[in-house]
Structure 1
Amino acid sequence: MEERTLFPGHMTSWTHDKHGCYTVKSAYNMAKIAEFFSNRGTVGRGSSSDRVTEAKMWKAMWSIQAPSKMKIILWRMIHDCLPTGQQLSYRHIPTDDRCFFFGKMERVEHLFLLCPFARAVWAEVKEHFKLKLCRKELVNMKQWIFEFLKRESDTNATVLAVTCWHVWEAQNDIRNNQVQMHPLRVASKVVAYVEMILKVIFKDKVPSRSGVETVVPRWNPPPARWICVNVDAALFPTERRMGWGAVFRDHCGAFILSCSEGLTGFPTLEMAEALAIRRALSVSKERGFQKIILLSDCLSLIQRISSTARDRSTLGIIVGDIKTLKTDFQSSLLDTGRFAGNPVPGAAFGGGVPKECGATARRYVPLPTPLTPGYVKD
């Protein structure tokens, strides 16, 4: 252990602490730094492939879509630091170290996978979710959980975390409170919890850890005999010009028309979006469309067009043209939010919206017109 003498015959100083005093924290930091440099590759700054793979698996585990308390249970399973019967006995804590159902020592592998209670819970959960436990490949919990995450989808990773947490809670109730819950009831709680998570989180896309992704369509069709127009603008700073484009689809989602055009000049983002909407409305009028739902992603512009006040800004003329063109259609620019296929256009819309034009997380905005006259007054 390195130490430094400040004055011969007087005192020594611990070099890994700014005050020269030894602390457990400073020793821990020293050990971690030494471990980091010892694990660096002999060539360049690379780490060994095993460590890189393990780091990815840890990241995959912590990215599971489940509450943190459930992921912590997985972490403790991997490190075998849960208060199972074996661990309590190892730490000389006076308690029964046997499994309540099996009668033998309660180990972490047994508690979550091999116990008759856990088997019954997993059997019922597998009736609702297609997953494979592969118990025969079990060597230790770290190997088994990492292999599971490699093999299964994100949904099944969520199922794993939720099921292990509920099994652990049920086992604790049996050990501490002498309250035994039926495995079917535990499984039903697992299924309900997972479905709630999937409903809230996996709205648009359910990625898979195995590389195969299931994509849920983000676009919902408009009502019958309505035309959905997606319009957007783009700026090209190096060329100091802009462009716009639009896609027209019917209520069945079938492609009708697309158009794009480059324009000279380099306006603001809001001005570019306004020009794009005006051109899209002009094309719709030329094609004879009567019922259109115009989709844009510029919240501030939608608010300008929806406002009854006179716009005296530099956008005022363009906004005025858009309002005039709107009168030729059964359409109205309403509040922002993704169109959800409501049977009556103009119904409430939900979901988050971008705060300004050109937001990174682009989300198309529905602008339907109500069928009932006077429902919305522009």
Structure 2
Amino acid sequence: MWKIRVPYKYKMLLWNLVREILPVGSILRKRIPFFDPMCMRCEYHLEDTVHVFGDCPNSCVFWSLIFKQFAYLKIDLQKFYNSNLSDWLSFNLANVSTWRIIFTVGIWHIWSARNMAVFEKKMLLIQSTFNKFLFYYHFSLTLTQGTIDRPSCSSNNSSRMWAPPQKGYHKLNTDGSWINVDNAGGRGVMRCEKGIWVSGYAMKFNAMTVASAELMAIREGLLRAWSKNIKFLELETYVDALTKMLKDPKSFEDGDLGNLIRDVASLLERDWTVQIFHTSRSVNLVADKLAYMGRTKFKAGECVPFTYPPADCFDLYATEIPDMVP
């Protein structure tokens, strides 16, 4: 269980589930007199652990969307839907590694939706819960591919060379750096088709999650590109999940990142052409370095513009342009 390649918070929830110590209605009823143990989502069944994660109609529809999305895994639905809790957990945690990740992230989002219904009296649309799951599943894959916070140190320049945008376009590379809510930063680098530095920035801010930091860096970069009257822009981010989300932002507007997503979506809808691409972190080194600078060297709320490449990342920048400038 602890070897599943997902963020630690997902593993902790799964550990609590395996130990059957989550505060579901049936458990709370034993400890709190007159506590209503009924499910707050379907308002019909007793809320025990099996009901929350498997039998509740909301959870069943959620899992059906997952099975449809990942049909190629050919999960045995008979075993999935017709097992007691112990066998259900054993079946899912003994499955292929991809499904173990999907299952663990799915568990988290079911529990999150349940808590919203219990504590905030709000019911997310099941499709919205699924959209959030899909985003964070892809985001988890991104985070487990390598180090989150520091630039790659590969010595193979050819394998990590930045590529210029198509003719007539500028390219914006963005990145976020996140340790905790009070220790986050972002950055962006904008270059022309010849690879020449046009603008850069590094900033420090408060952010709830890594995804929030990435989106705040993107929002700032789009605002700066618009202020320079750029009409054709390529936006590159190393987070594949963000690339998918920004191409269909309305599907994610009612999630945890809703306000940021709406801001970015409104910028993308302005009178210009913005093409969004996913790139490897290994070709996003200049932006990655600036994000680390923003988080470690500046004060919260500070955003520092760079008309020229700063000394801390000049060598990285120089290795990417020798064959581009005439």
TM-score over 0.5 for the pair: no
Output the TM-score relative to the length of structure 1.
Answer: 0.39
Q: Higher RCO, 1 or 2 (CA under 8 Å, sep at least 6)? A: 2
More helix by share: 2
